[in-house]
């Protein structure tokens, strides 16, 4: 598990280094407005196809370079040791590997620069069609409202209750003899999102809060982003916390978003119009987000409690 001391040491180490891959990309296109690193993971041809399409369209997105992770990451060295040490928290439906790799990529980014994570989707096999720079500019301009200058999650229409009780997730009865709400409440208490003395009321409140998507995210290298990513990586290595979650690492980042929302000044992206556009065009939300600039174009961040 990542310790607090190790996290601070990693931050100091990364602060003194720039991403070597970025320096190579400047020679290719000339340095873009903001230095952006894309990180993806793909295992299997159906996912690698999408990864290749994103890589081939980096110039359109004005992204400096691309960390293309795949299953070979686990074959040797430090990552081999990590993967086998934490074999119990890497499941077929997700696990600790995603927050671990995002944290590793984040450490390679220079302070003040940007990291974008994107799933290599089997359902939306496409590259970038527009620049991400207007989105980053919007985040910079709205720093007072969103001091993290990050988009850690995208708010969904459904609630956490829906996420935890949907039929497509693993049966709770086979894993632990409790109802979904009880498991949910146990996890919230473990994450210190709810206190034991007011556990029931607190859990019922969050049970009705919006859930989130994490198929892509945007992170500016600063201490707020570093704290959230470090916490995500740390808690994902805890079997008792991760194993009961219906969407595993995605469920965890959603709960941690609420846990650190006020402390770190986090905001979720909530863009109903873009969801509708993406649905109509059979596309992903990021494709539409990257084509918009500023709140006048329809971007917004939620501001619920």
Q: Write out pLDDT tens, residues 122-136.
A: 877 889 999 999 999
- Count of CB atoms situated within 10 Å of the CB of 87: 10
Model confidence band, residue 276 (pLDDT cutoffs 50, 70, 90): low
Report the mean per-residue pLDDT for the chain. Answer: 81
Q: If DSSP states are collapsed to H, E and C, what string results for 236-267?
A: HCCHHHHCCCCCCHHHHHHHHHHHHHHHHCCC
List for the chain the helix, strand, coil content (%; round to 5): 50, 15, 35
- Count of CB atoms situated within 10 Å of the CB of 112: 12
Q: Is the pLDDT of residue 56 over 60?
A: yes
Give the helix/strand (H/E) hosting 142.
none
- What torsion, rounded to 10 degrees, do the Cα atoms 276, 278, 281, 284 define? -160
Q: Is the pTM of this model over 0.85?
A: no
By C-alpha distance, which of 136, 138, 107 is closest to 15?
A: 107
Q: What is the pLDDT of residue 196?
A: 84
Tell me the mean pLDDT in the region 176-194. 87
């Amino acid at each position: 598990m990542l310790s607090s001391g190790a996290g601070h040491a990693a931050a100091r180490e990364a602060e003194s280094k720039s991403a070597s891959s970025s320096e190579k990309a400047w020679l290719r296109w000339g340095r873009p407005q903001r230095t952006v690193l894309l990180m993806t993971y793909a295992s299997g041809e159906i996912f690698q196809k999408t990864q290749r399409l994103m890589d081939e369209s980096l110039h359109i997105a004005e992204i400096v370079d691309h960390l293309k992770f795949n299953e070979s990451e686990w074959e040797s060295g430090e990552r081999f040791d990590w993967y086998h040490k934490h074999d119990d928290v890497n499941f077929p439906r997700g696990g600790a590997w995603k927050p671990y790799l995002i944290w590793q990529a984040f450490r390679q980014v220079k302070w003040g620069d940007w990291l974008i994570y994107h799933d290599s989707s089997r359902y939306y096999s496409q590259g970038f069609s527009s620049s991400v720079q207007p989105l980053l500019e919007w985040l910079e301009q709205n720093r007072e409202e969103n001091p993290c200058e990050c988009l850690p999650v995208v708010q969904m229409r459904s609630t956490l209750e829906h996420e935890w009780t949907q039929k497509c997730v693993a049966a709770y009865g086979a894993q632990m003899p409790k109802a979904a709400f009880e498991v949910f409440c146990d996890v919230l208490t473990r994450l210190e999102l709810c206190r034991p003395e007011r556990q029931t009321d607190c859990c019922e409140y969050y049970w009705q809060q919006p859930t989130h998507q994490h198929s892509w995210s945007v992170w500016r290298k600063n201490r707020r982003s570093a704290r959230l990513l470090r916490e995500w990586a740390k808690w994902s290595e805890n079997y008792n916390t991760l194993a009961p979650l219906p969407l595993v690492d995605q469920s965890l980042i959603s709960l941690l978003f609420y846990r650190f929302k006020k402390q770190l000044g986090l905001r979720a992206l909530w863009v109903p119009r873009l969801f509708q556009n993406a649905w109509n065009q059979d596309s992903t939300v990021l494709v539409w987000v990257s084509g918009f600039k500023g709140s006048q174009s329809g971007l917004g961040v939620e501001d619920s409690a």
